[in-house]
Amino acid sequence: MSAIFRKELADHLASKRFLILFFLVLLAAMFATYTAIQNIRGVVTPSTEFIFLRIFTLSGGASLSFLFFLALFIPIISIALGFDAVNSERTSGNLSRLLSQPIYRDSVINGKFLAGLAILAMIIVTVIAIVAGLGLRIVGVPPGSDEVLRLIFFTLISVIYGAFWMALAVLFSVLFKSSTTSILASIGLWLFLFVFMGVIAGAIANTMVPLDQNSTMGVIANHYEISGAIGRISPATLYGEATSALLTPERASFNPALIMMSTYTGRMETPLPFNQSLLLAWPQIVGIIALAAICFAISYTRFMREEIRSI
């Protein structure tokens, strides 16, 4: 498998696809960091804790936060790196040559998946490191050990989230013979999960627990509980919640109604310690890992059991 892994890695690094993606992400990251740094002085008071993390989560005016950019780009990079993993080998006639070599068939798919994941991890780590470095240089506030831990886990979850999309893209590259079909299917599913899932969740929650001006706090909380639960079918929601729990220590709940309530009772703005934030995000993290594992398992069995008849 190591031969396949090394070759795929070298292919990715030499490809234009990789260069384009890398610079795109880098540009977006710099842009987001720049606006965050511009706005950071406005929100920070002498008593503010976790200033360093704000570089990643702060959005200002017309611009979006680094976190949002990353949530947007991770699926795109993963899909771009994995959508033609198997079917391009088939179309180019390399698959038949490859499979007649003395290698286990699963090492083909494992090697490709791992190489893609390695590239993805490299991009994510590089970008986060660059942003952190810039923030350190310009803001001048060094991160505390709690913040460093949060950033490490944030990086880890981002890679796992990318693994889900890569597993999905590889699955489509096994299922569909044409790479055009597989990229359309991947992008389509991403759009659905990223954009429409929230709309659908809201609509369902509206019919089940309608809200009006007289709704009590309990009803409102119930409404958001339902839309949240449906939204969590989408790994995009899971990733959003997990990262916001890690990067905003003040966050104690994902339910907007509960957050509002805690404002009334005065518990707001009390940051959670790292292990409590991690506990809050834990179900989401496990969810992403499970989805990634399911996707990979399906493509694995499909590819292993496929009979080579005419190649």
Please report, as ranges, the residues that interact with other proteins according to CB under 8 A: 3-4, 6-7, 11, 14, 92-94, 96-104, 307-311
Q: Report in angstroms how near the CB of residue 115 gets to other proteins at its nearest.
A: 13
Amino acid symbol at 184? L
Q: What one-character DSSP code corresponds to residue 64?
A: -
CA distance 95 to 89: 5
Token look-up 């599913």 returns 189
The CA–CA distances, whole Å, from 64 to 46, 52, 109, 295 equal 25, 17, 36, 30
Tokens of 264: 């009334």
CA distance 280 to 161: 17
Cα end-to-end distance, the chain, whole Å: 22
The CA–CA distances, whole Å, from 11 to 1, 103, 111, 236 equal 15, 20, 12, 29
258's CB contacts (< 8 A; 6+ apart) are: 221, 224, 252
- Of 78, 44, 40, 41, nearest in space to 56 by CA: 40
Amino acid symbol at 116? G
302's CB contacts (< 8 A; 6+ apart) are: 171, 174, 175
Phi-psi region at 177: left, alpha or beta (left = phi > 0; alpha = psi -120 to 50): alpha
